[in-house]
Amino acid sequence: MGEYCLTYKDVEEAVERIKPAAHVTPIMTSKTMDGLAGRELFFKCELFQKCGAFKFRGAYNALSKLVDNVEDRSGIKVVTYSSGNFGQALGLIARMKKIQAFVVMQNNTSQSKISAVEGYGAKVVFCEPGEKAKEAMKNKVAEEQDAIYISTSQNPDIIAGAGTLGIEILNQVPDLDAIVAPVSGGGMLAGICIAAKHIKPDIKIFAAEPLNADDCAKSFAAKKRIPLPDVPDTIADGLRASVGPNTWPIIKDNVEDVITVTEEQIVQAIKLMLERMKICVEPSACVAVAAVLSDKFKALPSSIKRVGIILSGGNLDLSKLSTWLR
């Protein structure tokens, strides 16, 4: 695995690094959900993580590595691009570590997400929607502020931090046959691959993706990385990015299959999580739930009995939730 940007040891080190700050999130189960899926499901509740999403793990690992041994941190600045969750986590941790964070966000981001990022003390810089505009603005801030760019999904320390999820879920449920995780830039999915495949080489890892943002599925079928041409239209607002150059080799080699779901399936999963499990799961995480309930997943061999599902976050706009529930 020398060709990857991180190793299992990096994930092990991340476990130690985040231990004082991150929650060990609980596993939830539901007989009703098991019945609907035809399998035993184990929901890894990262919606209960600090800042309401798994992003805290990677951000804490990366910033700790960056500054923990630096005495005078007054001049240290970091910049990232985020649709919301990563910006919140980076903002909070930058405040904890006494450094300055800049978060580039699209100018059409919902006010609640902007306020949340600002509430944690980060400075929000707006850009036009789209990959090019965000790249340009992120580079501009990095240059003008002399800020270190922390990629939400391609930075190896971020991937290692997210990978702690793989170690943690297998500590909690050692005999899983499979793990299903949503994919966007692929940081979490790649981190889980590195961790889980090391611990349990025969475990099967599945990626879950909105059909409306299916670059990973298309890349997987073509056996080469094909980023999305435009900003995709999906309610799973955390999954609008494309798999990147650092995560693709790991995903290509270690993921069993990519399962795509429609917007309607995502909404149904949100409702099921509220109604049956009494938890508020964001659309991007519900993509993994919808994948496990899909016909494609149901057609998989019955030897895949015990399935871990990464509920990656719980941050959503209540006014939008109101619309989806209607």
Stretch in the footprint of a second copy (CB under 8 A) among 46-54, 139-147, 225-233, 302-310? 46-54
Binding part of the chain for a second copy, among 185-193, 254-262, 269-277, 294-302 by CB under 8 A, reads: 269-277
- For helices 156-172 and 8-18, what crossing angle results, to 10°? 80
CA 1 – CA 253 distance, rounded (Å): 10
Does position 148 bind a second copy by CB under 8 A? no
Q: Which is nearer to a second copy, 209 or 282 (by Cβ)?
A: 282
Q: Which of 207, 281, 289, 309 binds a second copy (CB under 8 A)?
A: 281
223 binds a second copy (CB under 8 A): no
Q: Which of 55, 97, 113, 134 is catalytic?
A: 55
Minimum distance, C-beta of residue 204 to a second copy, in the bound complex (Å) = 28
Q: Does 275 bind a second copy (CB under 8 A)?
A: yes
Taking CB under 8 A as the rule, does residue 133 contact a second copy? Answer: no
- Please give the size of the binding site for a second copy, defined by CB under 8 A: 20
By CB under 8 A, tell whether 48 contacts a second copy. Answer: yes
Note if 284 is an active site residue.
no
User: Residues 4 to 43: which contact a second copy by CB under 8 A?
Assistant: 26, 28
Indicate the residue among 200 and 320 with the shorter CB distance to a second copy. Answer: 320
Q: From the candidates 64, 83, 151, 312, which is the catalytic residue? A: 83
Query: Which one among 15, 47, 180, 189 touches a second copy, defined by CB under 8 A?
Result: 47
Angle between helices 8-18 and 187-199 (to 10 degrees): 110
Both tokens of 248, joined, read 């693709």
Which of these, 267, 306, 307, lies nearest to 287 by C-alpha position? 267
Element (H, E) at 256: strand 255-261
Active site residue 296: no
Tell me which H or E stretch contains 103: strand 100-106
Residue carrying structure tokens 């990095």:
142
Q: Which residues contact 288 (CB under 8 A, 6 or more apart)?
A: 180, 181, 182, 208, 309, 310, 311, 312
Phi, psi for residue 323 in degrees, rounded to 5: -65, -45
Residue 8 or 120: the one with the smaller Cβ distance to a second copy is 120
CA–CA distance, 190 with 196 (Å, rounded to integer) = 10
Phi, psi (5° rounding) for residue 100?
Answer: -100, 130
Report 61-80 residues binding a second copy (CB under 8 A): none
Strands 100-106 and 27-28, bridge-based pairing:
unpaired
Task: Give whichever of 191 and 314 is closer to a second copy, judged by the CB atom.
Answer: 314
Neighbours of 208 (CB within 10 A): 31
The catalytic site residues sit at 55, 83
Residues that bind a second copy (CB under 8 A): 26, 28, 47-48, 52, 271, 274-275, 278-281, 314, 318-319, 321-323, 325-326
